[in-house]
Structure 1
Amino acid sequence: MSLTEAVETPEGLRERLFKAGYIADEDLASLVWMGLTLERPLLIEGEAGVGKTAIAGACARALGRPLLRLQCYEGLDLSQAVYEWNYSRQLLEIRLAEAGQGDKAALRENLFSEAFLLERPLLQAIRSPEPCVLLIDEIDRADEAFEAFLLEMLSEYQVTVPEIGTLTARSKPLVILTSNGTRDLSDALRRRCLFHYLDFPTLVREMQIVRTLVPEAASRLVEEAVTFVQRLRKEDLDKTPGVAETLDWVRVLFHLGHGELPVDPQSLVPTLAALLKTRNDRWQVTAERVGKLVDGPRIAQDVGVAGAMK
């Protein structure tokens, strides 16, 4: 299947994402397909660790596009996100003109032109000669003022620079915004986006993800480790382990030579550094608690697994 054919259908795009190392469900693949078809930005919301950021990289690989990333944080402003002037070069041009080595009249006309403009991720994305994937990561961490600025770009794919005017898109990027839900996003931003809530994967799907990305691990180890993590997520933790943590833990267990979870829960405790990321979580998940989590219902007895694994 060619790339053109793949993006003509959600299922074809889903296959491309799978080959790029991302196992997307039907809803997520359809969302990306709709974003490409309608040229609309995507807003993907969900808990940390569910794979929101990874989808952007997978889309870039699947579509053969470059990936541009803007990491949002409190206090993010236009100079880091959109553009700033190359002040050192402008100053150099001014000094050359004063020394008689430049055209003063031309300098006045060109000092604030695109030649002196430093493009940051948002402007780079719309001025790219070829379509790219633009990841605006954790938009909920940015200020509401910055969120308001995004509205022009997300609806018109253009940026207004006061000294120059409006810079329109040379190509329209696939824009993916992620949010952990730490604050409410504006209705205006949400209206401009196609929305998807990405939850933690089901037991069967997480097993599939781990088998695909850690193929060297024994099937029994994958089944038991993923089941353990699924049960662990139901505990009262400060930070729930995500899929990336599951993958790290399975790799650790594989490199320790395990083909299944060891019988002694005490031997598992040191490896939990791959899953538990706060002092309180490490303190409360004791060897005794690990033993209880390991000794839960067997794989085939877990809801929905017996039939799915046949």
Structure 2
Amino acid sequence: MNGSALPVGVDETLALLARGDYVADRALATAVHLALRMQRPLFLEGEAGVGKTEIAKVLARTLGRRMVRLQCYDGLDLASALYDWNYTRQLLEIRLAEAAGERDKDRLARGIFDRRFLIERPLLQAISPEGGPAVLLIDELDRADEPFEAFLLELLADWQVTIPELGTIRAAEPPVVVITSNRTREIHDALRRRCLYHWVDFPDAARERAILALKAPQAAEKLSWQVVAFVQRLRQMDLFKMPGVAETIDWCAALAHLDATELDPQRVDETLGVLLKYQDDIARIRGEQAAALVAEAKAG
């Protein structure tokens, strides 16, 4: 895959993101531009659903690079993140060699620890010279254990991995790296210092409306404006989980599928489960509160 040239300025970076249907503000575009130009990982924090992961996907598409994603979780280890050996195939190779009369154990050992038996996990895939340059998304790093951060710091510094049986594998070109965190725990300072940092906040009303125009174009213009006004007001309330941009898009699309052209309290009550994901929040908003928010949205 032949990659596109990197943008030479912030305006070009804004245009690059726009080509991928990502509506970014100038501060975010500046952070992305600097990360690309300085070949530094971009560490994005923010609430779930504000578009952090989408940035990596858009960069992969618009730069013409392969996308490699490492989804972090509690208990993530190097065998799942970096590489592992295909033990089943190795055992089969040993049995076939023995059946063919092979008795040299050293030669047999060298034969089974060959690249063809290596299972490349996302981190190794990202620095592998095969397939061309990559965009590496390390998603929700805050879900992984702290020891994993220490290894990641070493990889981000050198872009090489030493496999005892094979030797050192180096990246011909460092990948574009996007690291995301929902801030369920604090990420260590050592890793933060290695990255460029940006907090991805909820968009203002104008930018959220522009996002809906791209992502839910089937919705009537009046409905989209009212949905944005409703959600913007909702985010000012003390909820267990505020709706992200992804939920705004889903809700607007759902209302359009129900042939709604504007908000009404009954339809809002019936579809709150698309926008809010916790029953306590739904119970608090449904009824009189939803009707009041609809009235405010229409008045606005």
Q: Which amino acid aligns with 1:194?
A: L
Q: Which runs of 5+ in 1 are unaligned?
A: 301-310
Task: Mark the CA change 1:234 to 1:112 in structure 2 (over 3 Å): closer, same or farther.
Answer: same
Shift of residue 239, structure 1, vs aligned partner? 1.3
Q: 60-69 vs 75-84, which deviates more?
A: 60-69
Provide the residue aligned with 1:10 in structure 2. 10
**More deviation in 76-85 or 282-291?**
282-291
Q: What TM-score do you get using the length of structure 2 for normalisation?
A: 0.93
Write out aligned runs for 1:276-287 (5 A). Answer: 276-287=276-287
Q: Which residue of 2 aligns with 1:67?
A: 67
Question: Which whole-Å CA distance do the structure 2 matches of 1:243 and 1:117 have between them?
Answer: 40
How does 1:194-233 map onto structure 2 within 5 Å? 194-233=196-235
Shift of 1:102: 4.7
**Equivalent residue, structure 2, for 1:19:** 19
C-alpha deviation, 1:137, in angstroms:
0.4
Alignment-derived partner of residue 273 in structure 1: 273
1:42-61 to structure 2, matched below 5 A, reads 42-61=42-61
Structure 1 segments, 4+ long, off by >6 Å, are none
What is the count of residue pairs matched by the alignment? 296
Distance in 1, matches of 2:103 and 2:115, equals: 18
CA shift, 1:207, in A, is 0.8
2:296 aligned counterpart, secondary structure: coil
Match of residue 308 from structure 1:
none
Matched-pair contact (CA < 8 Å) for 1:10–1:29: yes
- For 1:144-163, list aligned pairs within 5 A: 144-163=146-165
Amino acid at match of 1:191: R
Give the Cα separation in 2 of the matches to 1:63 and 1:298.
41
**Between 41-50 and 99-108, the greater mean CA deviation after superposition:** 99-108
Q: Is contact 2:227–2:297 with CA below 8 Å preserved after alignment?
A: no
Secondary structure of the 1:268 match is helix
Q: Residue in 1 aligned with 2:31?
A: 31
Q: Distance in 2 between matches of 1:101 and 1:221?
A: 75
| Counterpart code for 2:268 | L
The aligned residue for residue 123 of structure 1 is 124
SS state at 2:58 partner: helix
Larger CA deviation: 56-65 vs 103-112 = 103-112
1:200–1:242 contact (8 Å) kept in structure 2: yes
In 1, the alpha carbon distance for the partners of 2:164 and 2:299 equals 62
Alpha-carbon distance in 1 for matches of 2:64, 2:186 = 33
1:295 Cα deviation after fit: 1.9
Q: Is the 8 A contact 1:93 1:102 kept in 2?
A: no
CA distance in 2, matches of 1:128, 1:57: 20
Q: Which moved more, 1:23-32 or 1:140-149?
A: 23-32
Q: Give % identity.
A: 51
Shift of 1:245: 0.6
Deviations 1:129-173, CA, capped at 9 Å, x for gaps: 311111100001100111111012111111122333322113321
2:250 corresponds to: 248
| One-letter amino acid matched to 1:218 | A
- Aligned residues: CA RMSD: 1.8
Write the deviation string for residues 210-245 of structure 1: whole angstroms up to 9, x where unpaired: 112222222111111100011111222111110011
Partner of 1:239, secondary structure, is coil
> 2:71–2:138: 8 Å Cα contact kept in structure 1?
yes
Q: Is the 8 A contact 1:94 1:107 kept in 2?
A: yes
Give me the whole-angstrom Cα distance separating, in 2, the residues matched to 1:174 and 1:233: 33
Output the TM-score relative to the length of structure 1: 0.90
Within the candidate set 235, 238, 246, 1:236 is matched to: 238
State the one-letter code of the partner of 2:13.
L
Counterpart AA for 1:185: I
Which residue does 1:307 correspond to in 2? none
Tell me, yes or no, if structure 1 residue 184 matches structure 2 residue 186.
yes
SS in 1 for 2:183: coil
- Distance in 2, matches of 1:224 and 1:153, equals 47
